[in-house]
Amino acid sequence: MSISRGIVKIAAGSLPKSLRDRYREQWLADVRDAPEQHLRPAQIALGSVAFALTVGRPLPKRRDLTPAEVDQRVRIARVVALSGAVLGLSQWASMFTGDYLGDYKVPDAPTLVMSTFLIACSVLASVLALVLIFATRGTSTRTRWAVALFAVASASPIVQSSLNSDSNAVSAALHPSAIAYLAAVIPVVVGLALLRTSRRIAGHNPRVSIPAGAVFLLIAAATLVNAMILWSLRAPLRFGAGPLSANNPIYVQWLKQNEQFEALMNNVFIGWGVGAIVLVAGFILFTIARRLSSREIVRLAVGGSALTFIAGGALLGFVQLAEPGVVPLPEISLVLIVGRLALVGAILSAVRAGAVA
């Protein structure tokens, strides 16, 4: 019964203030007296959750953004979009280093193509990094510092790749940039997700929150499963095709080295799964409580999923750094790239919405 009491208290706590005290007391009384009517307290608890998810909520009082505020947010959005593009290009470049190609015995012609591609990425990323710094004009001092830090950090893998360093060095250089990127991008993305006007609040549809949350959870779960397939010694599918094949001595050696990290990795997987569930539950409650429009809910789900990808990729990368003599797997790079590109898409969407707000 105490679990049911806890659930109805949480459900009542999520209600609008005008209904909160009344339903808390009513549901607590119903939970207490349910056995008297041969009903289970859990039924009342589930009912309170269903009520909290479907109750009509008053429109929150919000002021419309001034044109200057919209303009500043659009500027920030452009900055973040450019940041994503720079880091994405950095990631591409770091994939095609000399050691990586050498390990897989790639012939000379593709090496030439990849080298050309690497140079193109480096040049483009450098240009974008410069544009990025100029794009911060008009934003706050804190944003300019964050972007400058990111631009410097994101340049490091490009430089390393251009110098044709070994893969581990590139990987080691990449992760500080990922941290700087996350530190700079998360508050901005959250701010963009909250960008809204009264006009768009009118499009609120609470039914969108749950399927969007389900997709979000699916993506988070896919990220976790991908990590487990790559890292868990217990994963039945850990031997796949290509680089993950049992015939790949590098992968087999890597798994052997992983044995000493098994307990740590299991805890990481559990923490990751719990964190994803809490994140998605928070997402659903937030979108309902704040009456976000359908478009905003979808945008937030895309942004959140992208951040989950990035966080997952970064976590894998950190664990990977603990392994001596291990070559980065292309799957990890792919996860990072997909996440970052999705994030850029979400941010560009926010830019567009901000421009018409």
Q: Determine the Cα–Cα distance for residues 223 and 91; give it in Å rounded to an integer.
A: 18
Shortest distance (Å) from residue 355 CB to another protein = 36
For position 164 contacting another protein by CB under 8 A, the verdict is: no
Tell me how far, at minimum, the Cβ of 57 lies from another protein, in Å: 12
* Burial class, 271, CB count within 10 angstroms (exposed 0-12 / middle 13-18 / buried 19+): exposed
Query: How far is it, in rounded angstroms, from Cα 114 to Cα 245?
Result: 24
CA-nearest of 311, 326, 329 to 271 is 311
Amino acid at position 222, single letter? A
- Cβ proximity of 226 and 316 under 8 Å: no
What is the nearest approach in angstroms of another protein to the Cβ of residue 59? 15
Smaller CB separation from another protein, 51 or 261: 51
| Contact stretch for another protein (CB under 8 A) within 34-42, 171-179, 307-315, 349-357 | 34-42
Q: Which of 1, 9, 10, 51 binds another protein (CB under 8 A)?
A: 51
115's tokens: 């080298």
Give the max Cα distance, the chain.
81
Is 62 a binding residue for another protein by CB under 8 A? The answer is no
Using CB under 8 A, pick the residue from 2, 18, 37, 247 that binds another protein.
37
- Considering only 33-41, 89-97, 248-256, 326-334, which stretch makes contact with another protein by CB under 8 A? 33-41
- Considering only 27-35, 207-215, 231-239, 260-268, which stretch makes contact with another protein by CB under 8 A? 27-35
Q: How far is CA 243 from CA 85, 167, 211, 318, 329, in A?
A: 27, 16, 35, 20, 8
Complex with another protein: residue 51 or 117, whichever CB lies closer? 51
Minimum CB distance to another protein smaller for 54 or for 253: 54
**Nearest 5°: phi and psi at 293?**
-75, 165
Interface residue list for another protein (CB under 8 A): 19, 22, 24-26, 28-30, 32-34, 37-39, 43-44, 46-51, 54-56
